């Protein structure tokens, strides 16, 4: 069953190019033969022992039975990341999966331990969440559904890593829900085997004995402080808790019974697909109610939510964010970006930003845009051959294609102005085509006929 699950997520590669087949093999490696999944009460198990296929394949290649590891790309391609971002936006519009994509990115990076220097033992944003051992952690229940949603995008863009894709999806979901622009950077390297997954128990628990102390224990281990803990908690403005996954919340409420998306669960806010500061406003009110009355409400309050208004240090920030959404957005964007980088190994080491890259269009549109940018030049050259500029033939600078092709998505403003000036130098304008010199055309026609007549006579 696990093999059939992987086959349903990955495209057929029998007739694909060598590079496409390599990308498919790398993607297939992320679904080990022992992969199991819990989704809507369904548990999928492998029908054969884990690693059997890999060892057999290694033996056939003369590896003496040693496990052969298929490595993913070390760094992501910026153009493919931008195209993937557009696909994620389309996915969000049709599936309303903002909350689970945020959770996917957070749970991949939230295993980081600042006290461990070695990568990948330290955990963090390294794409390990795609492997069975980590997917089966109790805190990750239901995230197989997020992986199913995101896998087709990974298949379309094999030159991006899972680590980058998970964080791209998380940040895009926040922004598309109305949240702040997050200053992300990319170039995360993927781990390559299930053995590199972090141990269970590094993610926060919703109902610990001492909620405030538990939050500090988990987030301080990541290198985050009280302000960042409270700001990141504000992401609960999105999504719902489902008792069949986390053990928390009601099966449904008046705010969730009709969806959008899959109905059910209990949300923290009324508009649970809108990112704003309503979480802090609602928690401030609900935290003042007795615990029994809180349980009767249609909005969810976890012990860790109530702690934000009970702990003196947390309360300073929670009160501030309830009153000032702009301050919340600013602090949240910084905290989210920091969380997304935890434990990551970057290639290049400094990473790169999609906003700094001038080639910000999707990869499959570059050629069309470059051709469109050169259309005025082609029109100017072709039209100029029929115009003698009042009897004096112009001597324009020769057009050299390499001069205008420098690897960017579109021409710079200065270059566009230069091209336009050359076009107008021939007598053209953006509003009307250049007029032909009819007298010259007739003279050329007569000369051509005379030449043909002389040839026939000879």
Average pLDDT, the chain: 78
Q: What percent of the chain has pLDDT over 90?
A: 54
Residue 294 has pLDDT above 50, yes or no: yes
Q: Which of 203-212, 224-233, 411-420 has the highest mean pLDDT?
A: 224-233
Using CA atoms, how far residue 64 sits from 52, 57, 58, 67, 426, in Å, is 14, 10, 7, 9, 73
Long-range pairs for 139-142: beta carbons < 8 A, 24 or more residues apart:
139/107, 139/200, 139/203, 139/204, 139/205, 140/107, 140/203, 141/38, 141/245, 141/246, 142/38, 142/39, 142/100, 142/242, 142/245
Average pLDDT over residues 399-413: 49
**Residue 418 confidence class, pLDDT cut points 50, 70, 90:** low
Segment among 77-91, 304-318, 368-382, 418-432 with least mean pLDDT: 368-382
Question: Which residues on adjacent β-strands are paired with residue 346?
Answer: 188
- Please state the separation of Cα 16 from the chain's center in Å: 25
DSSP assignment string, 260-277: SSS---EESSSSTTS-SS
Task: Give pLDDT tens digits for 195-220.
Answer: 999 999 999 988 889 999 999 999 99
pLDDT of 68:
38
Q: Which of 98, 107, 214, 336 is catalytic?
A: 107
> Which residue, among 33, 217, 194, 218, has the nearest Cα to 139 in the 3D structure?
218
**Residue 221 confidence class, pLDDT cut points 50, 70, 90:** very high
Residue 425's φ and ψ, nearest 5 degrees, are -65, -25
Average pLDDT over residues 305-317: 96
Average pLDDT over residues 98-111: 97
pLDDT of 62:
38
Whether residue 107 lies in the annotated active site: yes
Average pLDDT over residues 421-438: 60
Task: Give pLDDT tens digits for 258-269.
Answer: 888 889 999 999
Segment among 38-47, 81-90, 366-375 with least mean pLDDT: 38-47
Residue 318 has pLDDT above 70, yes or no: yes
Instruction: Say how far apart CA 439 and CA 441 lie, in whole Å.
Output: 5
Task: Give pLDDT tens digits for 154-176.
Answer: 999 999 999 999 999 999 999 99
**Residue 7 confidence class, pLDDT cut points 50, 70, 90:** very low
Instruction: Say how far apart CA 274 and CA 253 lie, in whole Å.
Output: 17
Average pLDDT over residues 52-58: 35
In the chain the domains, ranked by start, together with CATH numbers, are 78-196 (1.10.520.10), 211-335 (1.10.420.10)
Q: Is residue 129 within 8 Å of residue 135, measured between CB atoms?
A: yes
Residue 72 has pLDDT above 50, yes or no: no
């Amino acid at each position: 069953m696990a093999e059939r699950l992987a086959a349903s997520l990955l495209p057929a590669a029998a007739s694909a190019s060598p590079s496409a087949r390599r990308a498919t093999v790398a993607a297939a490696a992320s679904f080990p033969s022992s992969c199991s999944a819990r989704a809507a009460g369904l548990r999928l198990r492998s029908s054969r022992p884990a690693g059997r296929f890999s060892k057999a394949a290694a033996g056939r290649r003369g590896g003496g039975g040693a496990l052969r590891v298929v490595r993913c790309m070390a760094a992501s391609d910026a153009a493919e990341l931008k195209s993937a971002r557009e696909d994620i936006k389309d996915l969000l519009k049709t599936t309303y999966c903002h909350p689970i994509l945020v959770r996917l990115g957070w749970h991949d990076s939230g295993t980081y331990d600042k006290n461990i220097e070695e990568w990948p033992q330290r955990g963090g944003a390294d794409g390990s969440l795609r492997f069975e051992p980590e997917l089966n952690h109790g805190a990750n229940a239901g995230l197989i559904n997020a992986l199913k949603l995101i896998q087709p995008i990974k298949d379309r863009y094999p030159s991006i890593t899972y680590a980058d894709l998970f964080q791209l999806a998380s940040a895009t979901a926040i922004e598309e829900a109305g949240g702040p622009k997050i200053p992300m950077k990319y170039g995360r390297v993927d781990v390559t085997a299930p053995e590199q997954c972090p141990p269970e128990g590094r993610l926060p628990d919703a109902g610990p004995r001492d909620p405030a102390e538990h939050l500090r224990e988990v987030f301080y281990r990541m290198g985050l402080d009280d302000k960042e803990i409270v700001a990141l908690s504000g992401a609960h403005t999105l999504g719902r808790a489902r008792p069949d996954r986390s053990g928390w919340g009601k099966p449904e409420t008046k705010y969730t019974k009709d969806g959008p998306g899959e109905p059910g669960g209990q949300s923290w806010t009324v508009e649970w697909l809108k990112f704003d500061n309503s979480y802090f406003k609602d928690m401030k009110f609900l935290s003042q109610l007795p615990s029994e009355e809180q349980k009767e409400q249609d909005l969810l309050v976890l012990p860790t939510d109530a702690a934000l208004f009970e702990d003196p240090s947390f309360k300073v920030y929670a009160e501030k964010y309830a009153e000032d959404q702009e301050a919340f957005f600013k602090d949240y964007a910084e905290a989210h970006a920091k969380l997304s980088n935890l434990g990551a190994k970057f290639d290049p080491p400094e990473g790169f930003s999609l906003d700094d890259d001038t080639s910000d269009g999707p990869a499959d549109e570059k050629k069309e845009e470059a051709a469109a940018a050169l259309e005025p030049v082609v029109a100017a050259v072709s039209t100029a051959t029929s115009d003698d500029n009042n009897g004096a033939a112009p001597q324009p600078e020769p057009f050299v294609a390499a001069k205008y092709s420098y690897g960017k998505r579109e021409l710079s403003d200065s270059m566009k102005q230069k091209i336009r000036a050359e076009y107008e130098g021939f007598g053209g304008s953006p509003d009307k085509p250049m007029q032909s010199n009819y007298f010259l055309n007739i003279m050329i026609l007569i000369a051509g006929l005379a030449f043909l007549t002389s040839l026939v006579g000879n």
